Structure formats: structure tokens, C-alpha cells
Structure 1
Amino acid sequence: MDYTQLFQFSGDRVLVIGAGSGIGREAALALGAHGATVVCADRDSTTAAETAAMIGGSAIATQLDVLDLDAVRAAADEFSDISALVFTAAMNVRKRIADYTMEEFDRVVNLNLRSSFSLIQAFAPKMAANGGGSIIGFASIRAYVVEPGQGVYAATKAALVQLARTAAAEFGPDGVRVNVIAPGVVETPLTAQIKNNPEWYNAYAQKGALGRWSKPEELAGAVVYLASNASNYVTGSVLMVDGGWTAVDGRFDPPNS
């Protein structure tokens, strides 16, 4: 076993959906730095092209709206040779259950869950036909722990965990691995509402063991790991990258005595 090759992607093409910004962009940059040929996909073709330019080399950009089922299926045909698929697109409407509209419910469920299902449904069989591959989705700590106003978002992320586990069971015999990463609080456009509220921001920062928020680039290593040969026997798993949020359950730090 040549362990120096565990994190090398030379000759492998990977598709990152949501590559135009945030975690998706950092994941694309990290995969490119390890030798992968990266296809940067995003609903915003301009930001996708910016990411591809940052990677350089053979990286390309493509426009993809994951809510468009025909476009997702066409992408699966066009990029049927990929060794890894990473998808990060998500949204959240922070409202208590009694205040939610069904239109808001549908928007969150369609982007967070329905699109995840359609991506797995479209790409997993292609990977299986090629002898295997890695699919990586993004759940959240909200799949496990919640707070008021997180109901629909949390439900979609919990559902994604079970969807990934089921896909791992169904496509595992053909060599397709399916895993999810569960971040804690990350400084992205999705969390701008919280970040701009000092009281909210500081409360979240103190919840985890590390006492701070994470940055998008701190999720990139988890993506590289799950896409690489280093995780060949890892499937149906949730990789928590939450700074200890779900490990620390107390809200009070008792005195030493």
C-alpha cells in the first residue's frame, strides 16, 4: 500500500455543486489542490467560473440549477465519469412552526431534500456502472439538535442523513459510497442573519468546545477525506465537523471545586 497516494486525485474528475461560494468553493479549491480535475457547478455561472479560474489547470465551470430535474439528469449524463460528487446547496427560513407558510415550507424542502434525492438518483447509478465512486452531501448539526425556528431546516437535514444511509445500502455493492458532513455554525451567506447579530453570534460561538465559529475552508478537509481513497471503507456515515457542538451538552461551566 502506497500511503502517499491516499489523498491524491490525479486523473480523477470530481463535480462540486454549489462551487460558486462558501463551503462549495473551498471544497472545489481543496480537491483541485490535490490533483483532481474539478467541475465547478453552481446556479450562478459567473461565480462558478470564478472558482474554476481560481483552481486553474483543467478545472471547468458549468451552470446547474439543482431544482431543475431535467438539468440534473443531463448533468449526470454529461459528467458520468466522475469519481466524486459533492453537493452543498441549501437554504433556511428561520421561523417558528406556527409562523411558517406552506410556500416557505416547500422552498426549504425542495432545495434541501428534493434536490438531494434527485442528485443521488441521477448520479449514483452512473457511478455504479463505472465501478464505484463517492457521493458527499451536507447535513448539519440541526439533524441532531434543534432550537426554536429551525423546524423545517432541521427536518430536511435529518432526512438527508437517512437518505444517504439508504443510498449507501442500495449502491454499496456496486462500490458507491455515500456519506454526509454535518457542520456546526459556519460563516457563510446562509448564516449572515445570525452573524450580524452580536448576541446571537457570541451565543453560538460559546456553544462548541472550541469557542468559535468555523470558516468555510475548515470543512474542505472533510470533503477531501470522504472523496479520497483514504475513506474507501467509509459509507453511510455522518462526519461531524462542528467544533464539539454536539459533544458538549451543558450551558453552564461548573466551578473546579
Structure 2
Amino acid sequence: MSLELFSLKGRRALVTGSSQGIGLALAKGLAAAGAAVVLNGRDGDKLARAAEQIGQQAAILAFDVTDHGAVREAVDRFEAESGPIDILVNNAGMQFRTALEDFPADAFERLMRTNVSSVFNVGQAVARHMIGRKAGKIINIASVQTSLARPSIAPYTATKGAVGNLTKGMATDWARHGLQCNAIAPGYFDTPLNAALVADADFSAWLEKRTPAGRWGRVEELVGACVFLASDASSFVNGHVLYVDGGITASL
């Protein structure tokens, strides 16, 4: 009986930024737990290749998460034509690294739109339907940078701090409507977003010493947390930021 709490059979999950990396890994994990998954991104060809890896449980919904109007139109159309979105994983994000004193203003704005505005845009569009059904799961992808900073990524740190607090705000506004809104904060994972760091031998050596687990994370290690937050097992968990980081935020 207890394992049934984690089943996602009969539910549909929209995962933004799911053509590769963490988003694709989470989509695969949700599908393995029984959910029908909807992959999102802007590159239709990449989404099609990702859907092939999942099979019949995967649909595609291409839209730009930074375009509020386009998001609303796409979500409303999908709900009308295909049925409810029961689970939303706000995963779309980007990184840009340079010293703060030299950080380009346009890069700052692009980070804010991609990492923060997208969570608002898609979260609001999907929540409006969830509120009417008195049920729904929203999982935002935060970061260890939600609570920590390091050189050359100050604006990224700001965006992930905002994601953490926006998650709390979503829970505060929407828990009374039957929604659970939480975040997963990954540590350092071997993903396309971190390719430059993975390739940097000095950084990898530093990370292995800094992280109690002594290694980079594997994207598959985020699946359990996502399934938990997407399932009935987390029915009274709300506004929580779950760090999956090998212990890096727990130690000096």
C-alpha cells in the first residue's frame, strides 16, 4: 500500500526544458512512475528525439517559456484539446558566467526571463486550471545557488534565490486550493549546462573535495525527489526547497 503513494498512473506531467539534461531525466523518471509526460522546449527536432527515448507516454508541446502570452495560449489549448496537466515541473533555465563588474546587462535580463519569469509564466498558466480542479503539483527546479554563491555567477544566484522564494509564494497562495508547490535544488550535476565546469579538471577536483559525497551528481539521482513531490506521498509538503546536493549545503 505504501508504494502506491508514489504511483503516478493516470496523471499527466508537463516538464519545461526537457529535451536534454535534467529535464529529460526527470521526464523519463516520471514516465517510469506511470505518468504521461509532455515535453517542452523551443527546438522541435530536439524534442522529437527526446520523445523517442520515452515512447508512447511522451507528447510534445513547444513554446517559449519566456513569452507570457504564448505560454498561456499553449497551455489553455492543450488543456482544452488533450486534458488536464496534473504535474508541472518548471525546469527551463540557462547559465552565463563572467565577473559581476563586467556582466552584460542583456545577459542579466536574459537570465531573469529564462530562470525566473518562466517559472511565473508557466506556473500561473497551469495553476489556473489546477485551481479549478482543486488539485495539482508544481515542482520548480532551484539550485544550491538558491542559498549559496560563488564567483562569476552572481546574477544566476539571484535568479535561483528568486525561484526558491517564488516557490514559497506559490504555496502560500495556492495551497488552500489543493495545490502542492515545492522546489528541488540540485547540487553540481554532470549536465550540458555544466559542461564547461565538468571539463575543468581544477574545478572538478575542488568540487570533489568540497562535496561530502566526493563527486558530481548523476541526473538520475534527481528522479526520486521529483517522483516524491509529484505523488500523493507529498500531500502535506508545501513551500519546501529540497536540496539534492551530496551534502554540499550542509558542510563548510
Superposed displacement of residue 146, structure 1: 0.8
Superposed displacement of residue 236, structure 1: 0.1
Instruction: Give the Cα–Cα distance (whole angstroms) in 2 for the partners of residues 17 and 212 of structure 1.
Output: 27
Matched, 1:167 2:166: no
Give deviations 1:137-185, integer Å, cap 9, x for gaps.
Answer: 1111111111111210000100111111011010110111111110110
Matched, 1:185 2:188: yes
Q: Which runs of 5+ in 1 are unaligned?
A: 250-257
* Contact 1:65/1:72, CA 8 A, preserved across alignment: yes
Matched, 1:4 2:7: no
What is residue 55 of structure 1 aligned with on the other side?
54
Whichever residue aligns with residue 123 of structure 2, its letter is: I
TM-score of the superposition, structure 1-length normalised?
Answer: 0.93
Give deviations 1:46-95, integer Å, cap 9, x for gaps.
Answer: 22222222221232122121122222102321343111001211111111
Whichever residue aligns with residue 150 of structure 1, its letter is: I
- Pairwise CA RMSD: 1.2
* Contact 2:17/2:92, CA 8 A, preserved across alignment: yes
What is residue 16 of structure 2 aligned with on the other side?
17
What is residue 205 of structure 2 aligned with on the other side?
202
Residue 159 of structure 1 aligns to a residue in which SS? Answer: helix
Superposition pairs of residues 64-213 of structure 1, within 5 angstroms: 64-80=63-79, 81-213=84-216
What is residue 233 of structure 2 aligned with on the other side?
230
Residue identity (%): 39
Superposition pairs of residues 213-252 of structure 1, within 5 angstroms: 213-249=216-252
Instruction: Give the Cα–Cα distance (whole angstroms) in 2 for the partners of residues 123 and 86 of structure 1.
Output: 11
> Which deviates more from structure 2 when the two are superposed, residues 76-85 or residues 139-148?
76-85
Aligned residues: 248
* Contact 1:65/1:71, CA 8 A, preserved across alignment: yes
Instruction: Give the Cα–Cα distance (whole angstroms) in 2 for the partners of residues 58 and 90 of structure 1.
Output: 24
Whichever residue aligns with residue 152 of structure 2, its letter is: G
Moved over 6 A (4+): none
* Contact 1:10/1:35, CA 8 A, preserved across alignment: yes
Q: Which runs of 5+ in 2 are unaligned?
A: none
Instruction: Give the Cα–Cα distance (whole angstroms) in 1 for the partners of residues 224 and 78 of structure 2.
Output: 24
TM-score of the superposition, structure 2-length normalised?
Answer: 0.95
Structure with larger Rg: 1
Superposed displacement of residue 230, structure 1: 0.8
Instruction: Give the Cα–Cα distance (whole angstroms) in 2 for the partners of residues 4 and 207 of structure 1.
Output: 35
Instruction: Give the Cα–Cα distance (whole angstroms) in 2 for the partners of residues 32 and 78 of structure 1.
Output: 22
* Contact 1:84/1:135, CA 8 A, preserved across alignment: yes
Whichever residue aligns with residue 47 of structure 1, its letter is: K
* Contact 1:49/1:62, CA 8 A, preserved across alignment: no
Superposed displacement of residue 216, structure 1: 1.2
Instruction: Give the Cα–Cα distance (whole angstroms) in 2 for the partners of residues 93 and 214 of structure 1.
Output: 21
* Contact 2:17/2:93, CA 8 A, preserved across alignment: no
Give deviations 1:13-37, integer Å, cap 9, x for gaps.
Answer: 1111111000110111111111111
Instruction: Give the Cα–Cα distance (whole angstroms) in 2 for the partners of residues 30 and 190 of structure 1.
Output: 20
* Contact 1:165/1:179, CA 8 A, preserved across alignment: yes
> Which deviates more from structure 2 when the two are superposed, residues 52-61 or residues 171-180?
52-61
Instruction: Give the Cα–Cα distance (whole angstroms) in 2 for the partners of residues 195 and 91 of structure 1.
Output: 16
Matched, 1:37 2:36: yes
* Contact 1:165/1:178, CA 8 A, preserved across alignment: yes
> Which deviates more from structure 2 when the two are superposed, residues 52-61 or residues 184-193?
52-61
